[in-house]
Amino acid sequence: MGRLKLQSEISSIEEEPGDCEVMSNKGAFACMVNSEVGAVLAVMRRNVRWGGGGRYMAGDDQLEHSLIQSLKTLRKQIFLWEHQWNTIDPAVYLMPFLDVIRSDETGAPITGVALSSVYKILTVGMLDLNTVNVESALHSVVDAVTSCRFEVTDPASEEVVLMKILQVLLACMKSKASIVLSNQHVCNIVNTCFRVVHQAGTKGELLQRIARHTMHELVRCIFSHLPDIDHTKQAITDGGDPSIRTEMGGLDKDYAFGVKQSDNGNGSIEYDAPPSSVGFASNASNFSGSMEGLVDENAVGYVSNKEATNDMHLTLEPYGVPCMVEIFRFLCSMLNVVEQTGMASRSNPIVFDEDVPLFALGLINSSIELAGPSIHQHPKLLSLIQDELFCNLMHFGLSMSPLILSTVCSIVLNLFHHLRMDLKLQLEVFFSCVILKLAQSRHGASYQQQEVAMEALVDFCRQKSFMAEMYANLDCDITCRNVFEDLANLLSKSAFPVNCPLSVMHILALDGLIAVIQGMAERIENSTPVLEQAPVVIEECTPFWTVKCEDYADPHYWVAFVRRRKYIKRMLMIGADHFNRDPKKGLEYLQGTHLLPDKLDPRSVACFFRYTSGLDKNLVGDFLGNHDEFCVRVLHEFAGTFDFEDMNLDTALRLFLETFRLPGESQKIQRVLEAFSERYYEQSPHILANKDAALVLSYSLIMLNTDQHNVQVKKKMTEEDFIRNNRRINGGNDLPREYLSELYHSICKNEIRTIPEQGTGFHEMTPSRWIDLMRKSKKTPPYITCDSRSFLDRDMFAIMSGPTIAAISVVFDHAEHEDVFNTCVDGFLAVAKISACHHLEDVLDDLVVSLCKFTTLTNPSLVEEPVLAFGDDTKARMATVTVFTIANRFGDYIRTGWRNILDCILRLHKLGLLPARVASDAADDSEPSVDPVHGKPVASTVSASHIPTIATPRRSSGLMGRFSQLLSLDTEEPRSQPTEQQLAAHQRTLQTIQSCHIDNIFTESKFLHADSLLQLARALVWAAGRPQKVSSSPEDEDTAVFCLELLIAIALNNRDRISLLWQGVYEHIANIVQSTVMPCALVEKAVFGLLRICQRLLPYKENLADELLRSLQLVLKLDARVADAYCEHITQEVTSLVKANAMHIRSQMGWRTITSLLSITARHPEASDVGFEALMFIMSDGVHLSPTNYILCLDAARQFAESRVGSTERSVRALDLMAESITCLSRWKELIEEASKTSQEIDEMWLRLVQGLRKVCLDQREEVRNHALSSLQRCMTVGAEGIRLSLASWLQCFDQVIFTMLDDFLEITHGGHSTKDYRNMEGTLVHALKLMSKVFLQLLPQLSQLTSFCKLWLGILGRMEKYTKAKIRGKKSEKLQELIPELLKNTLLVMKSRGILVRTSAIGGDGLWELTWLHVNNVDPSLQKLASSYRFRGVDVVKAG
């Protein structure tokens, strides 16, 4: 029934420390009561009236006064009671004391002692819910105390009694049995306490403080029980029946403090003045005159007689919501004095003492703190807060008093915490009209107001969901202001120190800004980051003002709804901007965005005008006043969007004319007012007879408004004039005089502004706007609550990130204290975290750029000792640590910011402050390249021993080396020891660099996202600069080398993603190689870095093997001087690469690159041995030979065989490699035949083999030349048997190899070359001729079948003929003269035995016989004589051959 639940244990406010403990012994109770009786009697006997012993009342047979007699009777009975005290009616032992309190014959001391006795009985626990008739007893106590009367003998004793009254009333409310008090009694208690508070203004300071404290305790005690209210029957709770208010209002008149003055026999003064509703004179308080009437009309439970009824039921119920509603209404009414001064904000609204509003606001704040969210369950209380309380808060929020403003902000904060779901629009106007207005100095607020407003805003920002909910509910609502955006901008701007040092206001704004940012960062930790959502797209036109959400409590629905609504709002604002420049284009733009239909309808345009902020109200007024039919229809639809139900005409007119500027033309005004009047009469006819009456009266109000508020009008219209002017306008009848009078005074008091303020938001809260706000609040969409998940943080952060970074940076720049530095750093890290988690790369880049400026590392240092200066600069060190913390934590989302980070790293590198591991890669320690023969690390040893370490500049060997320079001077002066300050600065610098973990950026780059990694690599290339052909400065070269090291380290650490980096790395190295003409550290690092990359990555990236190996062709493009300087080391790296990755090189292009590199080394004295070692590794036993690399390896082996740089043995070994490779051809031939594939490729490779050997046969060195011939013969005879070459291949062999070789030899012997260079050519010629003869005879059966056999045979005969005539060193060779006829003879015999050379043979044509013997005759005529007569035995001939 809307009251407290009767429970044995009710949680209440703790007892005061002085309260007595509960007494359990009934004897102790009796003694205590006896003691109190004695105390009262003792004080009464002091007075002449009570203690003289004579009769007090003449004619009465009583010897003693009834008060004394009742006390004595109680004294006799208390020790006779044998029952427990809780079974005894409390009225028995309370009534004597209460009679004394009620009596107007007792003085202040007696009343005070009686009150103390009652207080003691209440606090020792004698009364509880188990006590008999406890309800009646407590009611009696309250009735007696609230109607207490006494004679005032002196001011001090009066104050004591008043304090004891407060004490007893508070004890009643704190009693365990207090829940049995009725609504009426609780209201009486509060009313009585407030009277004491009022009267205490003329009393001592102690009474004032105690009275106010008691009032606070009462309110806290009452409202703390609201959560325990049994609201099973809400009807009574919500009804706020007038009967309750009537009964409670009557208490103000019936129960008052009476004071009377009369002379008694002793000359003392008695107080017995007529009672008033509160019992205090109007001048008996320090409250201002504005309080007059408050205690009469606004006392607890006051209502007018019109609302009174005879219903006593609710007043006698145990107290609950009804009394709380009345008490809260009373507290709000204490603030209603503002109505006497109006709500105009152009002047100071607070014109009276701050004491009253502070006291009232404090009580209201206490009630809200304790009632909390329970208020939501009681609509009557909630309604008071939504309307009356918040209206007053809006007014007092503009108070010049910082105390009042601070209290108002505290109340709103509590309301936000507990009831924000019911206060959406109220919160909007509070922040728009109070916080935003006061916190900006341009609105004329004092510094104290600004500071309090900013403190309040910071408190709100510390509520984790505040900004998110402001954004979701207000910024994303087309009818509301962008409160989140405005507050964020306010905080950002307020943090900027403009031409002034850093102040408390700047730090406050910074705290608020960072609180918002950290709230977003914490929400990221509590939920899965919401990735970038798809942009909102409106594909078809739907009425934007009717967009609804299916479920405002489910994020799956409201997140998309809110984002869509924000998009619509943004488009409407853009459309408004277009409209303000050209109305036609503005409407066309909205049609293009599907916010307005393709064919405009009046309803859509009207809603655009009604719900879009930022429109030029002059243009809207002109459009609505236009005579065009469409514009007239829009006007009526526009008027139809207003809710004028039960609204005063002047209020409705104000609201209507605030949305546009009333046109100046009379016809336009006529049309506008007709539409307004029609709508108003439709909703609020009231006493108006028709819409014409509304139209005429509206015109009259506008004319009155002009008359009263135009300074050019000297003679103002009076009330009578106005009433007279509006006679008989209501359907021929007069409107009520009171109605017209009210309208007149309303217009005179508050001007109707026909030129409304432009812009968005609220400029001031007028009564008409408040009325409209209350109506809107009933129709506004439900309040969306945001939990700990970051649904909208990305959109919010995108709005505020730029100003936030700028604000924090400016404060960081101006700050001087470390705690401010730490606050800024926390903000920077939070911004970085949010940017990274929401993939806002541009924001993170901006942050990095801003931070790098504070490191002082990107600026050229002007100080002599930058290391010490850095150690002494706290800001720079903190900024440096922050930059690299961001780079390590959130590097995945850094893009262009890498350039700034690298600038800092390069600066540290130049100063010698980087750790040596920065440029190393993670694979250095775990994957060394090992020479399988010697068991030593090849690649790493070469790199370490031949590539200079570039981790620190050459002028120092690291941080300690750099610092050691401080110990010496360039002059001849003796070295000075560093000071303690220098040592400390050095130590701080060292610790700072160590805490940056710079090396992790590169060693852990394998975890970077692809885009970030690519940008880091590009930044390194950019930082290195373009290589110059002309030698650059040592410092520039050092920087380029360092950047190249880092680039190579990144490439090696990201072998799984090398395809992403490879193009950039290769192009950078190529630029270095192609632009360098002299050996230097940069080109050395480029070449060996390239080789190292290939060596590491080939085993893992087969798909990139060709690209990697092709890149090695850059080595072939090195300038001759550069190549010569590094040839040996390059060859060692290539050898290591081949040994480790031969099986991974599968393409011909890759092998071509490798063999080309190896071939170059064949003629280099220092590199040839290593190069040949690599070639042997490839060709030995044919393990790594394949059809792909066979020919390439042959060419390389031939070049080593021909090279005279190495020993003859190496050339011979190279020939052996070539000759032994024929076994691979045999093996491949078998595989091809098994697969039924053509073997032409094998024939080609064999032909290339013998051609290569043929070229080496021309070598000047006899041993090499002869070994080449032997190898050639082996390949053509024994080796060729397994290959089964085609006859065409053999013909090519004779033509391109044998004949060419013989011709070359002949040329050499004829003087084509110096015979001194060719020793023992005779033996070579003999060997060559035998080779030709043997091969020919071996293939004779097959060759003889060819049509070209004759040509081949004649070629052989021709060479024999030439060799017969050949001269070596000027004379014919005897060996040749003996050998050639023998070879020819043997060949002829074999041909004849085979039937190839016969006279009648047609093979080769009819001339074969004649041509043969023609050449034979030239060689040896004796052979022709025996041709026809000699009979040969085939077997003997073969053996001779």
Closest C-alpha among 1230, 1234, 1153, 1139 to residue 1192: 1153
Distance between CA atoms of residues 182 and 171, nearest Å: 16
Distance between CA atoms of residues 455 and 978, nearest Å: 48
Distance between CA atoms of residues 1185 and 1169, nearest Å: 20
The torsion of the CA quartet 1002, 1008, 1011, 1013, rounded to 10 degrees, works out to 10
Residue 1265, CA atoms < 13 Å, CB-side half-sphere: 20
Residue 192, CA atoms < 13 Å, CB-side half-sphere: 30
Note the Cα 608 to chain centre separation in Å.
Answer: 34
Task: Give every CB contact of residue 92 below 8 A, 6+ residues apart in sequence.
Answer: 74, 77
Q: Is 1368 helix (H, G, I), strand (E, B) or coil?
A: strand
Distance between CA atoms of residues 312 and 184, nearest Å: 10
Q: Classify residue 1007 by its DSSP letter.
A: G
Report DSSP letters for 1176-1229, one per residue: HHHHGGGSS--TTTHHHHHHHHHHHHH-SSS-HHHHHHHHHHHHHTHHHHHHHH
Closest C-alpha among 637, 653, 627 to residue 600: 637
CB 1318 within 8 A of CB 1260: yes
Return the H-helix or E-strand segment holding 230.
strand 229-230
Structure tokens at 535: 């942009």
Place of tokens 């007038």: 242
End-to-end CA distance of the chain: 137
CB 514 within 8 A of CB 830: yes
9 assigned to active site: no
Place of tokens 């500027």: 661
- Catalytically annotated residue among 307, 339, 665, 1378: 665
CB 1171 within 8 A of CB 1162: yes
Q: Which amino acid is at 395?
A: H
Q: What secondary structure, in 3-state letters, does 1010-1053 show? A: HHHHHHHHHHHHHHHCCCCCCCCCHHHHHHHHHHHHHHHHHHHH
Task: Give every CB contact of residue 538 below 8 A, 6+ residues apart in sequence.
Answer: 564, 567, 568, 593, 594, 595
Q: Is 320 helix (H, G, I), strand (E, B) or coil?
A: strand
Place of tokens 């004595």: 72
CB 392 within 8 A of CB 339: no
Closest C-alpha among 1004, 1014, 1006 to residue 1061: 1014
528 burial class (0-12, 13-18, 19+ CB within 10 angstroms)? exposed
Q: Is 4 helix (H, G, I), strand (E, B) or coil?
A: strand
Task: Give every CB contact of residue 603 below 8 A, 6+ residues apart in sequence.
Answer: 543, 637
Q: Which amino acid is at 769?
A: R
Q: Which amino acid is at 1340?
A: L
Distance between CA atoms of residues 819 and 841, nearest Å: 29
Angle among Cα 200, 202, 203 to the nearest 5 degrees reads 60
Return the number of other C-beta atoms located less than 10 Å from residue 1248's C-beta. Answer: 16
Distance between CA atoms of residues 85 and 30, nearest Å: 9
Active site residue ranges: 665
